A and B are shown apart, each in its own frame.
Chain A
């Protein structure tokens, strides 16, 4: 197998025609190459070189240490706006963040920023201190590597709703994420009045890299 480019047509991956996401064109010409894991081609009769074996080792090592990040808000007290407004949730505490320079940053706690392109699984929850209706969702903001253009948005996806004050959802983010793209958790209250985020059983947000 040669170098995997992840550009199979018709799969929704870069280089394929795919349906338009909100605010995006329906066809994406010549996107930049996504993240790759070089894998060697070993013809019959050849002797594997150290470089080729190390490519295999590096691929396994990447998967054993695949990018994950998990953050939470231990302070609480953020006010969650009433519809039609919404609040972007901030997460002040980094629990896990194993890829440099980090998906989370203390200077921008309201997002997780992709460092390694690929498909990612999203998990999140928003906790409030009142037994009321909470609506939540996740939205993507594109960076300069994304062919949709910096500042373009994708989503919202993965909505959550509860009447018990704790809302959330999870799933694989339905768009390929490029390095520099970031995801944010939004929340809003129903017409019954603004809510306050809870410090106990805190709001959380995580990303798990799942596939090239």
Chain B
């Protein structure tokens, strides 16, 4: 958990080292991504199958950027917030080529789930947000990629989680990974990025 900066104002003739260090830490928090909560997950393991008409949590097996320890290998589909604040999130999900037609209903969204430490929502309350649909390719050889971004609509508290969900309306789709396949497919990894934006309550 990152320590939240506390801005202390200076009185006349104030020479408090503590105040100066608080100011220095605030600047470090703002400009240093090893301090400010930032994460980036991606998946390069086997593809992930989706059951039609069910929102599935996208899983990730790598966390190359994770300054606040939001990733857990045993809980690899979600970011578990460690530091209070407002967050922005981004994700891209590539769907493997298939018999998409034009109305297959491929959608991607985020899912916020309140933890036990959230003072505004009971634990387990979920909020679906940031949804976007696809425009599937029809040549049956290229991936269909859906990218989404949003600001989490509530202030996040330690223990809250944020996940990426994928949905296929009409058939059992597959989330693809970078397997060095053809140039039209298997060249993009599912990824999920988030970062702390501002103080909040």
Distance in angstroms from A39 CB to nearest chain B CB is 12
Contact partner of A96 (CB less than 8 A), chosen from B11, B106, B153, is B153
- Mask for A199-212, Cβ within 8 A of B = 1, else 0? 01100101010000
User: Given A50-B10, A64-B199, A98-B200: A167 and B150 within 8 A (CB)?
Assistant: no
- B54 CB, nearest partner CB in chain A, Å: 15
Hey, which chain A residues are within 8 Å of B13, CB to CB?
50
Structural contact, B151 and A125, CB atoms closer than 8 A:
no
Contact of A66 with B by CB under 8 A:
yes
Assembly CA distance A62 to B194 (angstroms) = 21
B153 pairs with A170, CB closer than 8 A: no
> Do residues A204 and B198 form an inter-chain contact, with CB atoms below 8 A?
no
Q: Does A61 have its Cβ within 8 Å of any Cβ on chain B? A: yes
Q: Are A53 and B10 in contact (CB under 8 A)?
A: yes
Q: Mark B104-133, 1 if CB is under 8 A from A, else 0.
A: 111101000000000000000000111111
Residue interface bits B185-197, CB-to-A below 8 A is 1, else 0: 0000000000001
A interface, size bucket: 35 or more
Residue-wise, chain B 156-169 has the 8 Å CB interface mask toward A (1 for contact) of: 00000000000001
Q: Please state if B133 and A162 are interface contacts (CB–CB under 8 Å).
A: yes
**What is the CA–CA distance of A163 and B101 in the complex, to the nearest angstrom?**
11
Contact of A131 among B149, B150, B169 (CB under 8 A): B169
Residues of A within 8 A of B106 (CB): 164
Flag B83-97 by CB within 8 Å of A: 1 or 0 each.
Answer: 000101000000000
With known contacts A68-B151, A164-B133, A208-B88, A60–B23 Cβ distance under 8 A: yes
The interface residues of chain A lying within 8 Å CB-to-CB of B199 are 64-65
With a CB–CB cut-off of 8 A, which chain B residues contact A70? 150-151, 153
Q: Which of A63, A65, A160 has the most CB of B within 10 A?
A: A63
Scan residues 147-186 of chain A and give those whose CB is less than 8 A from a CB of chain B. Answer: 160-168, 170
Q: Which of B29, B135, B150 contacts A163 (CB 8 A)?
A: B135
Supposing A165-B133, A201-B109 touch, asked if A61 and B7 sit within 8 A by C-beta, the answer is yes
- Who on chain A is nearest to B104 by CB? A164
Spell out B's residues near A (CB within 8 Å).
5, 7-14, 19-20, 23, 26-27, 29-30, 86, 88, 102-107, 109, 128-136, 148-151, 153-155, 169, 197-200
